[in-house]
Amino acid sequence: MNPWPLRTLCCLCVLDASAQAQAPTFSAKVEAVRVDALVTDRGQPVLGLSVADFEVFDNGVPQQVDLVSYEQIPLNVVLALDMSESVAGDRLRHLRTAGGTLLSALKKEDQAALVTFSHVVTLAAPLTQDVAAVREALGRAVGVGTTALTDGAYAGLIVGESDVGRALLIVFSDGLDTVSWLTPEIVIDTAKRSDVVVYAVAVGSGKPEFLRELTSLTGGRLFEVAKTADLSAIFLEVLQEFRQRYLISYTPSGVAKDGWHRLDVRVKRRGTVKARPGYLAGS
């Protein structure tokens, strides 16, 4: 029997067990909801906003905003990188350079992790402030095998939720999924229950509908590129944009505890808000 799929499944089971132990869940008791929101005006970020500047509607019901934080909470930055056989040569070199550039831009309080996926998903480096260890793991990664994109994205979500902090997941892939155990629906359902914001970079001419839905549901962004030469600039743009987002917290009031909750985040002054469109509560 081919051992690679079994190793992939074992890795996902371990990550899922960790998530069940540590990640926040929505239960019968009322818990705070966190929303990362990017506010822009004419394409430029709007900074310096406070609690009084925001309005939050949960299923159409106005909520009392408890906290608005900006650039104060350490980041958990997870790289989930496609290491299938098509990632070789210049693509691999560009990807390593981009990852290294991103790691160099982190602050000392931030944490980073590396998940690689081909036909096997590997937690190459767990969340840590030891950036050098993550950099070394990235340097050891090589392209081989096929693409378990869905499994890799799921693993990245679980790692992002495994510790306190604001979680950013950057998914890179140059191909469509061919061998994942998990279905896209399972990963999307997990994302709806998660605080992780997903940004993704898709290389090639395919239609990355899974990544498009995943980034949209988490309030992130999808970059579709033809080549990887500018990958470092994209990774830095993602990090900078994420740092310019506000973390908004509120305790749901006047709404059901279960099911899909539609979110509408607004600013009272001029500006456009980009945030996740909702969250899934309950079992």
Strand 166-173, strand 75-82: pairing: parallel
Tell me how far CA of residue 7 lies from CA of 13, 79, 87, 113, 122, in angstroms. Answer: 10, 20, 21, 19, 9
Instruction: Write phi, then psi, for 270 (nearest 5 degrees).
Output: -65, 135
How far apart CA 91 and CA 27 sit, in angstroms, is: 44
Query: Do 143 and 88 form a contact (C-beta atoms < 8 A)?
Result: yes
Q: What tokens does 10 get? A: 């074992």
Pair of tokens at residue 133: 């260890």
Beta bridge partners of 113: 78
Taking the C-alpha atoms of residue 256 and residue 234, their distance in angstroms, rounded to an integer, is 39
| pLDDT tens, the chain, 283 aa long | 333 343 444 455 444 433 333 333 333 345 899 999 999 999 999 999 999 999 999 999 999 999 898 877 899 999 999 999 999 899 999 999 999 999 999 999 999 999 999 999 999 999 999 999 999 999 999 999 999 999 999 999 999 999 988 999 999 998 889 999 999 999 999 999 999 999 999 998 788 999 999 999 999 999 999 999 999 999 999 999 999 999 999 999 999 999 999 999 999 988 999 999 999 998 6
Angle between helices 149-160 and 3-22 (to 10 degrees): 30
Quote the CA–CA distance of 143 and 89 in Å, as a whole number. 9
Task: Give CA–CA dist 148/84, Å, rounded.
Answer: 9
Distance CA 200, CA 222 (A): 5
